[in-house]
């Protein structure tokens, strides 16, 4: 029995030993497998990190570097430093001074200064220009901050050229917008000053005239001065309106056929007597033309040339010469290349002012306005008008010798010009024009029965007084509706013409005209003229569109009223003759 027990216990020990050995084998095997898997994973991770670092190094936009705090040495520089700057990273690792090659001496000095004042707590963030490997100027951003256990700085340098350029562009736009808004407020304050100055003069002169009412000659002198100041004020207001319409992009050009010879002729008669009165030689020439009629905005083109001529006249002393030359430079595919030159032998313009001459309110110096008057708006308007016509103005001047302004524009040749026969058909027209001019010169308002539609009492009083002084018989309506009623209640043909204000209560002048024109009465085509403070070209066009015969702007020039009525009466008579 004891033998059996010994045998059994010996086997149990063996079995336990065997079991323990098997567990150990399995344990080490599992350990081995785990270690193998772990090291595989590790290798994989290491590979990924290398890829990552390599990716850093390949990039063309971002350089990474590590600087040791203790001796400020660069101990790591990503390999793409070479691709971005053309400098081997090893050279920088050996000597950080090499960095100056990339950023240039001036920028390097700036960076050193920034480093000196850096608190070394918050990240240092700065921008610098640098040269890339191709030698191009680029722009970059450097961020430097403490890393690890504060033993290192991590430096990141990014190429931000595109962002920088965009920022510069936005900055420029912002500055432009700021300048434009500044210019607008300058314009407003300047405008207010410019208007107040003649206004002050007008009121002063009127007060003086009133005070000297017992001495008619003295009073008249003051009134004449008040009148000339009013004319100046009117020109100024027109210029300011033109300028503000240009600035808001609202100036529109007309495209209507007009006669270039007539333009030259009008300019000649407009300036002849004042030029001669000032002792200036004056001439207007037409050169090389085989075209007479072109399509464009006659009024605006003339406005520009008048401005040049007025300046030439103003700035040229007696004995000098002012000449205007219209020249056909060429004719191509139905277009006329036109040059208009205004030349004077006056005081000339300083060269430093020439670059500013087309800016609003610019005059050569403070004494210009004092000696010669003017507001400095004319050339700014002229320049804008000619630009709208896709043309250009060239100015050439020599101090003490004289000035010339040359306009180049291309205008379509009018159809009527192409149909004109070569032989001188134009004489008929010239004769017709002469007859018209004669009729207009001789026209009178004497005996004309005029209906005046005007809501403003002062304007009505002035108009009635002046028209009656010309011999007209006037009846007044206080608004458009009353004008319509008075016309409807009148005998056919009782009124020769209606002078119609536009902005009136109850019914405006345009509406009233439409009602009258469509009334069906046989005298519904009587002469109707707008007489309005709506003075824009668009208003004038609309007046014609609703069937008016003309548009007279306020303040009313009563000579113009006489001329315009005379002209229309002449046309009507001749139409009836035909």
Q: Based on DSSP, count helices (H) and strands (E) in the chain, helices before strands.
A: 19, 17
Six token digits for residue 279: 């002792």
Tokens of 560: 């113009």
In the complex, what is the shortest distance from the CB of residue 417 to ligand ADP, in angstroms, rounded to a whole number?
32
Give the residue with the Cβ less far from ligand ADP, 244 or 368.
Answer: 368
Nearest to residue 531, comparing CAs of 508, 514, 551?
Answer: 551
> Which residue is it, tokens 């009258």?
516
Q: How far is the CB of 395 from ligand ADP (least distance, A)?
A: 8
CA distances from 60 to 53, 128, 140, 158 (A): 14, 17, 12, 9
In whole angstroms, the minimum distance from the beta carbon of 164 to ligand ADP comes to: 40
Pair type for strands 449-453 and 497-500: parallel
User: What's the min distance (Å) between Cβ of 468 and ligand ADP?
Assistant: 37
Binding site for ligand ADP (CB under 6 A): 307, 311-312, 315, 344, 346-349, 357, 363-364, 368, 374-380, 403
> What is residue 316's three-state secondary structure?
coil
Burial of 317 (0-12, 13-18, 19+ CB in 10 A): exposed
Question: Of 375 and 553, which has the nearer Cβ to ligand ADP?
Answer: 375
CA 131 to centroid of chain Cα atoms: 38
Contact 194, 236 (CB under 8 A): yes
From residue 32, alpha-carbon distances to 21, 37, 359 in Å are 16, 9, 89
Q: Which is nearer to ligand ADP, 292 or 343 (CB)?
A: 343
- Residue 454: C-alpha distances to residues 240, 296, 462, 504, 573 (Å): 26, 34, 11, 7, 28
Closest CA to 155 of 76, 84, 250: 76
Minimum CB separation from ligand ADP for residue 401, in Å? 10
Residue nearer to ligand ADP on the CB measure, 400 or 421: 400
Compare residues 122 and 367 and give the one whose CB is closer to ligand ADP: 367
Least distance (Å) from ligand ADP to the CB of residue 110?
44
Could you tell me the smallest distance in angstroms from the CB atom of residue 237 to ligand ADP?
13
Taking CB positions, which residue lies at the least distance from ligand ADP? 374
Work out how close the CB of 342 gets to ligand ADP at its nearest, in angstroms, rounded to a whole number. Answer: 8
Tokens of 561: 């009223």
Q: How far is the CB of 344 from ligand ADP (least distance, A)?
A: 5
Tell me the Ramachandran region of residue 520: left when phi exceeds 0, alpha when psi lies from -120 to 50, beta otherwise. left
Give SS3 for 543. helix
Other C-beta atoms closer than 10 Å to the C-beta of 160 total 17
Nearer to ligand ADP, 44 or 196 (CB): 196
Toward ligand ADP, which CB reaches closer, 339 or 379? Answer: 379
Residue closer to ligand ADP, measured from CB, 363 or 543: 363
Burial (Cβ within 10 Å: 0-12, 13-18, ≥19) of residue 410: middle
Of the two residues 376 and 480, which places its CB atom closer to ligand ADP in the complex? 376
Q: In this complex, which beta carbon is closest to ligand ADP, that of residue 307 or of residue 568?
A: 307
Say how many Å lie between the first and final Cα of the chain, rounded: 164
Q: How far is the CB of 196 from ligand ADP (least distance, A)?
A: 17
């Amino acid at each position: 029995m004891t033998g059996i027990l010994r045998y059994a216990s010996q086997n149990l020990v063996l079995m336990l030993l065997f079991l323990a050995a098997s567990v150990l084998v399995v344990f080490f095997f599992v350990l081995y497998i785990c270690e193998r898997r772990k090291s595989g994973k590790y290798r994989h991770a290491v590979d990924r990190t290398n890829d990552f670092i390599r990716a850093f190094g390949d990039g063309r936009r971002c350089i990474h570097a590590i600087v040791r705090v203790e001796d400020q040495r660069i101990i790591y520089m990503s390999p793409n430093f070479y691709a971005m700057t053309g400098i081997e990273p090893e050279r920088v690792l050996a000597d950080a001074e090499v960095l100056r090659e990339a950023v240039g001496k001036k920028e390097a000095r700036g960076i050193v200064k920034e480093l000196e004042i850096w608190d070394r707590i918050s990240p240092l963030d700065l921008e610098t220009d640098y040269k890339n490997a191709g030698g191009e100027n680029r722009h970059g951003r450097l961020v430097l901050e403490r890393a690890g256990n504060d033993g290192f700085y991590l430096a990141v340098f990014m190429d931000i050229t595109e962002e920088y350029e965009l920022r510069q562009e936005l900055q420029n736009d912002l500055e432009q917008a700021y300048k434009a808004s500044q210019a607008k407020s300058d314009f407003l304050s300047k405008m207010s000053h410019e208007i107040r100055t003649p206004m002050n003069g007008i009121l002063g002169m009127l007060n003086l005239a009133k005070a000297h009412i017992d001495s008619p000659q003295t009073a008249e002198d003051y009134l004449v001065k008040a009148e000339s100041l009013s004319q100046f004020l009117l020109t100024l207001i027109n210029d300011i309106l033109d300028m503000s319409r240009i600035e808001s992009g609202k100036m529109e050009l007309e495209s209507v056929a007009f006669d270039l010879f007539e333009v030259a002729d009008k300019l000649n008669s407009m300036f002849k007597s004042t030029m001669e009165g000032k002792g200036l030689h004056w001439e207007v020439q037409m050169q090389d033309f085989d075209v007479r009629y072109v399509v464009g905005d006659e009024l605006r083109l003339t406005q520009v040339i008048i401005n040049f001529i007025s300046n030439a006249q103003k700035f040229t002393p007696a004995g000098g010469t002012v000449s205007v030359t219209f020249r056909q430079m060429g004719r191509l595919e139905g277009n006329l290349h036109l040059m208009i030159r205004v030349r004077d032998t006056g005081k000339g313009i300083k060269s430093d002012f020439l670059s500013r001459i087309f800016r609003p309110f610019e005059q050569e110096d403070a004494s210009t306005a004092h000696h010669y008057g003017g507001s400095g708006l004319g050339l700014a308007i002229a320049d804008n008008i000619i630009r709208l016509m896709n043309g250009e103005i060239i100015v050439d001047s020599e101090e003490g010798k004289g000035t010339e302004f040359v306009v180049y524009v291309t205008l379509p040749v009018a159809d009527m010009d192409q149909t004109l026969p070569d032989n001188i058909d134009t004489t008929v027209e010239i004769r017709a024009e002469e007859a018209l001019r004669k009729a207009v010169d001789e026209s009178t308002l004497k005996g004309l029965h005029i209906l005046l539609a005007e809501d403003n009492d002062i304007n009505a009083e002035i108009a009635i007084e002046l028209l009656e002084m010309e011999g007209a018989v006037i009846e007044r309506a206080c608004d458009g509706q009353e004008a319509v009623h008075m016309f409807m209640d009148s005998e056919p043909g009782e009124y020769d013409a209606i002078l119609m204000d536009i902005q009136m209560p109850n019914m405006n002048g345009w509406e009233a005209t439409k009602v009258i024109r469509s009334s069906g009465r046989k005298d519904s085509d009587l002469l109707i003229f707008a007489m309005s403070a709506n003075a824009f070209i668009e208003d004038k066009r609309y007046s014609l569109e609703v069937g008016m015969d003309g548009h007279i702007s306020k303040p009313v020039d009563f000579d113009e009223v006489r001329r315009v009525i005379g002209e229309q009466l002449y046309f009507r008579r001749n139409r009836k003759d035909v």
